[in-house]
Structure 1
């Protein structure tokens, strides 16, 4: 359900009278700062428990470590088992407040890309920087969530708030079918007025940036076929062009005809021959053939990323039209797998961003710019973007995500928690009229 909540919040924070921190907001700032070392200790504890997506026991263990943290703040906590999609599950924490208070969804994830077989397993601190598996993606984001909520409790602004914290256990490799693995998250998005994604903070040349949009992440599989025979007949009316020329025609037409802003369509791998076959894992292919035989088959898989659903629909239609214009003696089929939808830029998202920038001014921080969506990958917040205004990139600053040596700027946990706590508290000042 979309509301004018974000626009109302923008108006309430943009006036000169609001251009300073309130006593409650000053309490939030001090509380986050005072609990810095405790937050680092919690980050170390949960980082040192391996929670690679496919380590179900580890994902559940980290979830259980977080249960008392949320319960201490008055949240009802539920572990949602996901064995039916071969994943560990999700941790949802809910706090019901005033009926007319805005409904805020905070999104993070417990899992990491580092499975137990990875040599990169432990948290290590060097001053205000730390390394560890998932330390910024996304265990640091979870700590930001908890630090912000504790600050709100200390300031009295958590009382009466309507908040759901959704920590998925398979963000790095969502379970299939995705409609089932993301069912509870989508339902939470339909409930929410505002969604905040606590993955890594975007920066540009050292400047903090706001994320109001993220692109989709989908894939496609292309197969072509042709009449096989002796190569001397290639291009003839009887033999045609063969599967590889048809594949080359299609891929080159994608390159030439599809380009538009924020649209990409990478080709990950391809193979052609007599025969060419896709691997059972859909991540490989095999082919054999001779130079004097016209190939009878070719296969390719690729990626498709878009900024809006309209762009997705337009690109899919254009790709299908290209695939259907076959060379003589050939045929082709393309199949699309739609995984992560886009988080499209909206007026509500922009209004939330401007509200956040008003908070930056009150905190004495540099204004944020808008981070280019083409430079951010897909994320769980995209599943709720059609229903609620949102901001992504609310987690800490770091580097090297998904690689050994992944690191986090520990002081950015403080900065981001202060921003989040004040943002949610200011949003809560605007009652929402709901239809009965």
Structure 2
């Protein structure tokens, strides 16, 4: 760590002594099931997080989610229930302000078998959310403690958003993310590293999730099938045409994921629901996909004489690694080098709240959390040494932001 100033080394010195407390917190939080639809578990995490961040001295608010809806299997528009979001704000002495984001929800529902932590081997902890991203929130918290205890404490303004619906596209927290982003210049999101070796995610594809209700007309499949309008066939045709978009534009990913509908073999089905995901590499891909989907939906509706009702949107815009993003990556890379480890990055098709922050105009590094892997599975693991390692990286990055070392 020869590249650290005396001031930086002094500020980071206490971090190693916090290792056991950090691990204890990760284990306690991981044992709280906070799946995206488990509102009671999310409420418990919300309370624990507000209590944990309170000593930092910021203004803490717990905010209701924005309304959102989807289509159920019967094709009816229904409200989506999301947990509440925690917002902490502490203005600095200057105009510089950084936004830090993390999510309290996991992909594991209340009745999932993966509910506890265990050691896979020495230094490798297995558990729900240990990497994605309760471990990351612990890193964020400890980095802010180190910043505020340093000689630079109070110089950099910061705002934290801990949302309850990131794993389900942040539909209820998107307005809060956008509002806070307007007051900040840079963003740090504490998703786990892209690889267990600490590689960061660089550019990210965007993502849109959609559902379409196709309403046809029932008829007897033997006596008068010509009077029917087969919604399942129309949904299948729609799926094939949507899938074809990726062949016309190879930088686009399209995944028709599920069709619900139909009934007895002797009835022409009058209802079907199709769900699909689209991932554009660039803003131009997204604009093309939006226009193409509109054309395809109109053509399928006319060809099969069915009515189509669509919900969904591109909730995660693409996040290319442009010059603005590169400047912050270079700052983080330099901090890592001065701490004695190499920082690399790679592009990914995965999405997160970093996409939203970049779309709002912020320079963002969105994999500032722990090193680990196998996320979204019961094999998820945390490399425990990375708790202190990534805390130092985040704290040093924050201190250098406070000094104004990021070119504008």
TM range (shorter): 0.7 to 0.9
In 2, the alpha carbon distance for the partners of 1:57 and 1:240 equals 45
Superposed, 1:28-427 pairs within 5 Å as 28-82=11-65, 86-100=81-95, 102-125=96-119, 126-173=121-168, 178=171, 181-203=173-195, 206=197, 208-221=199-212, 223=214, 225=216, 247-259=235-247, 260-270=249-259, 284-290=260-266, 299-325=273-299, 330-331=304-305, 333=308, 335-338=310-313, 340-345=315-320, 346-369=322-345, 371-374=346-349, 376=350, 378-387=351-360, 388-427=362-401
**After TM superposition, which residue ranges in structure 1, 4 or more long, deviate above 6 angstroms?**
226-234, 238-242, 293-297, 431-434
Alpha-carbon displacement from aligned partner over 1:107-162 (angstroms, at most 9, x marks no partner) = 00122233432332223345311122211111101101012112223332232220
Alpha-carbon displacement from aligned partner over 1:43-76 (angstroms, at most 9, x marks no partner) = 1222223323333333232232233432322222
Q: Name the SS for the 2:144 alignment partner.
A: helix
In 1, the alpha carbon distance for the partners of 2:37 and 2:302 equals 46
Q: Name the SS for the 1:385 alignment partner.
A: helix
Q: What is the TM-score normalised by the length of structure 1?
A: 0.78
Cα shift at 1:104: 0.4
Alpha-carbon displacement from aligned partner over 1:71-111 (angstroms, at most 9, x marks no partner) = 322222222244977333111121111133x2101000122
Cα shift at 1:164: 0.7
Indicate how the Cα distance of structure 1 residues 349 and 334 shifts in structure 2: closer, same or farther if over 3 A, else same: farther
Q: Name the SS for the 1:265 alignment partner.
A: strand
Cα shift at 1:187: 0.9
Cα shift at 1:343: 4.2
Please report the RMSD computed on the Cα atoms of aligned residues, expressed in angstroms.
3.4
In 2, the alpha carbon distance for the partners of 1:251 and 1:415 equals 46
CA contact (8 A) 1:258 1:315 kept: no
Alpha-carbon displacement from aligned partner over 1:198-246 (angstroms, at most 9, x marks no partner) = 1111117x46233343422322426375897888999xxx999966665
Aligned residue-pair number: 391
Indicate how the Cα distance of structure 1 residues 231 and 315 shifts in structure 2: closer, same or farther if over 3 A, else same: farther
In 1, the alpha carbon distance for the partners of 2:231 and 2:82 equals 39
Structure 1 residue runs without a partner (length 5+): 1-18, 271-283
Indicate how the Cα distance of structure 1 residues 326 and 44 shifts in structure 2: closer, same or farther if over 3 A, else same: closer
CA contact (8 A) 1:220 1:304 kept: no
Structure 2 residue runs without a partner (length 5+): 68-79
